[in-house]
Structure 1
Amino acid sequence: MAVGFLLVFSAVLYFSWSIKVDIPAASYDVARGDNITIPCTFQSALPVVTTATVEWSRISKDGTKALILMYYWPDKDTDIADEYQNRAVFAGDMSRSIASVNISGISMADNGTIECNVNIKKDVSGKIQDITSLVVLVAPSTPVCSLEGKPEYGQDIRLLCKSAEGSPEPTYTWQSYSAENKMRNLPPKTTQDTGTLTLVNVSMDTSGFFVCTSANKIRSAMCNMTVAIYPPSMNIAFTAGMIALAVGGLIIIGIIAYCCCCRDKGQDEEYEMEYPDENVEEKLRTEHGETAHDDQPDEEHERSHPPMLPPNKPKGTVY
């Protein structure tokens, strides 16, 4: 029994005198663009810490560790990673067992797991590091609503809703309103998954207004769309109407072209002068008392009667 007591006492003494590093909270929220001080404290088995290093790192999802800064005590010197230059500052006091860090100008790249690691010379047993989550808060951007599929009777369609940014990742909810702008339950067999609303076997009753809300712990944003479900026959009727309209247009153009050709042909007919033949001239002389045997016309008679104009006839071959 005495041996057991000694073992327990030794274990308590061991853990009491070993190093322990602690970050008080499991996560810290900070708005994008703001500054944050992440606290980190330690307890050492040594009465006085003479030599130590404090390492702050960011751990990615695949476990890769990237340095933020390294602080050296008692030199009070600091090494800072390039991406944290002019942004990260050691904000601790080693004489008071404080090893905090301050990071300014927070961006989405800072989102993730942050680790504080304290290495004290001659005090390496125990918990030498602790981690926390840094959550960069970004309000959801206005989502975009869109439709996939044919909004026809009996078809399945999907309504999509997505914000380009938001941290933490936004959650999406859909609401439905009738054509009279009254809220109603979503149709049966409807499913929602990360902003995608699937509507099964749609009908005229599915038509209406659909509103999507994208929200996280900061605020929310919305988009909406009107969905009109129509029979498949409307596509056929529309196509037939367009064909009929095109055929009618061709017929009208043909009629106009035909009329223009006929009119142009009629306008091409011109008239020309034709001289009377010899028989007509002989007849005219007989009526004036002249005989066909007069070889030389009376000069005065010709001067007293003006020459007769020949009749007009359509232009053509002169016989």
Structure 2
Amino acid sequence: MSAMAVLGWRTLWSLFVCFTVLRTNALSVTMSESTMEVVRGDYIILPCSFSTYSPLSRLNIIWTLAPFSSPESPFQVIVYDHGQIIEDPSLIGRVGFTDLPLRADIMINDTRVSDAGVYRCMVNNPPEAADPGIGELLLTVLVAPSLPACRWDGEVDAGGSVTLSCSVAEGIPTPEIRWDKLNPEEISLPINMEGELSGSVQIINVSAQTSGLYRCSASNLLGTENCYINLSIYSAGSESSSGILQGVLLTLSMSLMLSALLVLVTWLHRTGRDGRWRVSKGEEEEEEGYNEIRYTPSLIKRSFV
């Protein structure tokens, strides 16, 4: 092999080694998790590690969030720049770095639904890399189902139609809604979903067998919440029986009133007779006493003549 060829190979090898070293020494960012979940109100640590061969005096870390509610409007969550930490005003007191300057992990406490979205960790440590290393993580905030609201609408007379409705205000993941009739035995009912958070059951041609306790359940992986409706169906037979019972009660009441009135009249009549007899007897006694007193003086007079 000629000297020129050997020189050429050495040159290429040197360039390759230099390029490899430069790539090896370039700053890199690693996210140990790509998706994470947290229950609303709990705290979570979002991991972001980096490797660098340069001093950390000019280290710069930026965390951003693109919320699920507005993914087109990302904003800065927290920044570390030349030893200074700057938090977004809406997150002050709830977000912070955990292990500076060796790692770029952050902690979020008292998590809220608005904290869910796509987080990006960007690390720059001049002069090691012209472009910052970037890591990405998707965070989901879980929410238990809220207490559902039950209501009904329709005709509760036999032969009518009744609609049972149920809705929940929130729940992540979206709660599963179901209706069950609980007595005399538990039966699952077909449900019509009206959006993600509400569902209804329509019962046509209702009868006495339709009466009973109904339950709506809203469930996700965090738990289940229930609401209930006690449905009573009125039939023609029950109305007739009710009318007969009312008639019997009315007749009985009238009989009792008439009996009481008869007793009162009898008592008053007897009381009146006794009163008149006593008055008459008193007058006779008074008259007899008067006569005795009236004739006594004459008798006395005759005795002295």
Closer, same or farther: CA 28–142 of 1 in aligned 2, 3 Å: same
Map Cα deviations across residues 102-156 of structure 1 (whole Å, 9 max, x no partner).
Answer: 11233x4455325436486999989978563422243x46757665444432222
Q: Which among 166, 171, 174 is matched to residue 169 of structure 1?
A: 174
Map Cα deviations across residues 227-252 of structure 1 (whole Å, 9 max, x no partner).
Answer: 55442452465366447635753664
Q: Which among 72, 88, 93 is matched to residue 95 of structure 2?
A: 88
Q: TM-score, normalised to structure 2's length?
A: 0.58
Matches within 5 A, 1:221-300: 227=231, 229-235=233-239, 237-238=241-242, 241-242=245-246, 245=249, 249=253, 252-253=256-257, 256-257=260-261, 259-260=263-264, 263-264=267-268, 266-268=270-272, 269-270=275-276, 271-272=278-279, 273-275=282-284, 297-299=298-300
Matches within 5 A, 1:184-203: 186=189, 190-193=190-193, 194-203=198-207
Instruction: Tell me, yes or no, if structure 1 residue 102 matches structure 2 residue 102.
Output: no
Instruction: Tell me, yes or no, if structure 1 residue 136 matches structure 2 residue 142.
Output: yes
Q: TM-score, normalised to structure 1's length?
A: 0.56
User: In 2, Cα distance between the equivalents of 1:80 and 1:136?
Assistant: 23
Q: Check conservation: 2:78, 2:95, Cα contact below 8 A.
A: no
Secondary structure at the residue paired with 1:274?
A: helix
Q: What is aligned with 2:81?
A: 73
How big is the shift at 1:88? 1.4
Unpaired segments ≥5 residues, structure 1: 1-15, 283-293, 303-319
Q: What is aligned with 2:46?
A: 38
Unpaired segments ≥5 residues, structure 2: 1-22
How big is the shift at 1:260? 2.7
Matches within 5 A, 1:202-213: 202-207=206-211, 210-213=214-217
Secondary structure at the residue paired with 1:155?
A: coil
Closer, same or farther: CA 37–68 of 1 in aligned 2, 3 Å: farther
Q: What is aligned with 1:156?
A: 161
Q: Check conservation: 2:33, 2:137, Cα contact below 8 A.
A: no
Q: Check conservation: 1:213, 1:222, Cα contact below 8 A.
A: yes
User: In 2, Cα distance between the equivalents of 1:235 and 1:124?
Assistant: 87
Secondary structure at the residue paired with 1:29?
A: strand
User: In 2, Cα distance between the equivalents of 1:82 and 1:275?
Assistant: 111
Number of residue pairs the alignment of both structures matches: 261
CA RMSD after TM alignment: 5.2
Map Cα deviations across residues 34-91 of structure 1 (whole Å, 9 max, x no partner).
Answer: 32112356899xx888364514447362569696743232223233535541x31124
- The worse-fitting range, judged by mean Cα deviation, of 58-67 and 76-85 is 58-67
Closer, same or farther: CA 295–146 of 1 in aligned 2, 3 Å: closer
Closer, same or farther: CA 67–127 of 1 in aligned 2, 3 Å: same
Q: Check conservation: 1:111, 1:136, Cα contact below 8 A.
A: no
What letter is aligned with 1:192?
N
Identity across matched positions, percent = 18
**Structure number having the greater helix percentage:** 2
